[in-house]
Amino acid sequence: MPGNPMFCRETPVLDADTCIQCQACVKECVSSVFKVAEDGAVSIPEDHDCITCGHCAAVCPTGAISMYGKVPAKLPEDRTVAPEAMRRHIMSRRSIRSYKPTPVPKELLGEILAATSNCPCACNLHPLAYTVITNPALIRDIEDKCVAKISEVGMPMFKNWMSHHTEEERVIFRGAPAVVICHIDERGLPPGKHIDSTDTAIALTTAELLATSHGLGALWIGLAMGVMGKNPEMRRQAGVPDGRKVTGIMTFGYPAPRFVRETPKEAQPITWME
């Protein structure tokens, strides 16, 4: 079987008729997948150690390399974001704990989550999947069950927090019109690696930043993730397939408050070794 089974989920396909033998793919490939003949012809042998990063297809000027049955879309020439605009965007991100009742368009949320497939991930395995809940009654029912479970823990801080939960004041999902559950099948992952938490953090943070650019807000819901992780019935109710581990939950919606300033934060310490 071609490719390293641990890393190679998809083998690149080279169209010899479109290839101009520039060898950009050869130079970019860190796994030495491509071979060059004496006449300059580039080929992919059956046995190789491809890690499915897709860089060969991304660097090819003629689109001669395809993966997953398609040639990747060409990027625009000017694709940089002004540094100050990017900084302002990052600084404007807030954890939203109060939402307008306006539903998030399904197409928009789907577009945001689809973009996370381009996030860096360990071993290029892309093991994440999402379940999106937009049914208000289902969101409220799962939230009520989470509150009940958390109230049983006995920690004063949590019990006090949960005591404020009412039909009007929702203390877990905060009235968000959309709840996104990220989950993973650990059975195909390298043992002893923290791929699940790292990949989830990168993907959902990216989704949050992209959502902010569309006027949406988001919130990490760690408490519900902990409860759902211990309750298979709740996972099934939420639409998470059996055998998958919940690795992150995030709410999305249009923010009710309008923030006019950055939040005060203490700068992270930096140590320079020069």
pLDDT of 125 reads 76
Q: Which of 60, 77, 94 is at the close of a domain?
A: 77
The two tokens of residue 241 are 């397939």
Provide the residue range defining the domain that includes 55: 1-77
pLDDT of 8 reads 55
pLDDT of 1 reads 39
Distance CA 108, CA 115 (A): 11
269 within some domain: no
pLDDT of 121 reads 85
168 within some domain: yes
Instruction: For the chain, give the number of residues.
Output: 274
Residues 64 and 132 reside in one and the same domain: no
Residues 121 and 26 reside in one and the same domain: no
Residues 198 and 110 reside in one and the same domain: yes
pLDDT of 92 reads 92
Residues 186 and 63 reside in one and the same domain: no
Distance of alpha carbon 60 from its chain centroid, rounded? 26
Residues 142 and 241 reside in one and the same domain: yes
**pLDDT profile of the chain (274 residues), mean per 10:** 54 93 96 93 90 93 94 88 92 94 98 95 84 98 91 76 81 95 82 77 97 97 92 96 94 95 91 96
Distance CA 34, CA 23 (A): 9
HEC letters along 197-253 = HHHHHHHHHHHHHHHHHCCCEEEECHHHHHHHHCCHHHHHHCCCCCCCEEEEEEEEE
CA nearest to 146, candidates 113, 98, 181, 109: 181
Residues 44 and 118 reside in one and the same domain: no
Residues 71 and 154 reside in one and the same domain: no
Residues 222 and 146 reside in one and the same domain: yes
| Sign of CA pseudo-dihedral 162, 166, 169, 173 | positive
59 Cβ contact partners less than 8 Å away, ≥ 6 residues apart: 24, 25, 28
Residues 94 and 66 reside in one and the same domain: no
195 within some domain: yes
Read off the pTM: 0.88
Number of domains in the chain: 2
Contact yes or no for 237/176 (Cβ under 8 A): no
pLDDT of 163 reads 80
Distance CA 43, CA 36 (A): 7
The H-or-E segment that residue 14 falls in is strand 13-14
Distance CA 41, CA 34 (A): 10
List b or e across 161-179, with b for residues whose CB sees 16 or more CB atoms inside 10 angstroms: bbeebeeeebbbbbbbbbb
Q: Is 87 helix (H, G, I), strand (E, B) or coil?
A: helix
Residues 114 and 247 reside in one and the same domain: yes
Residues 142 and 55 reside in one and the same domain: no
Q: Which of 77, 107, 122 is at the close of a domain?
A: 77
262 within some domain: no
CATH assignment at residue 9:
3.30.70.20
How far the first Cα of the chain sits from its last, in Å, is: 47
Q: Which of 77, 98, 123 is at the close of a domain?
A: 77
Residues 130 and 223 reside in one and the same domain: yes
List b or e across 240-264, with b for residues whose CB sees 16 or more CB atoms inside 10 angstroms: beeebbbbbbbbbbbbeeeeeeeee
pLDDT of 167 reads 82
Backbone angles phi, psi at 60, to 5 degrees: -70, 120
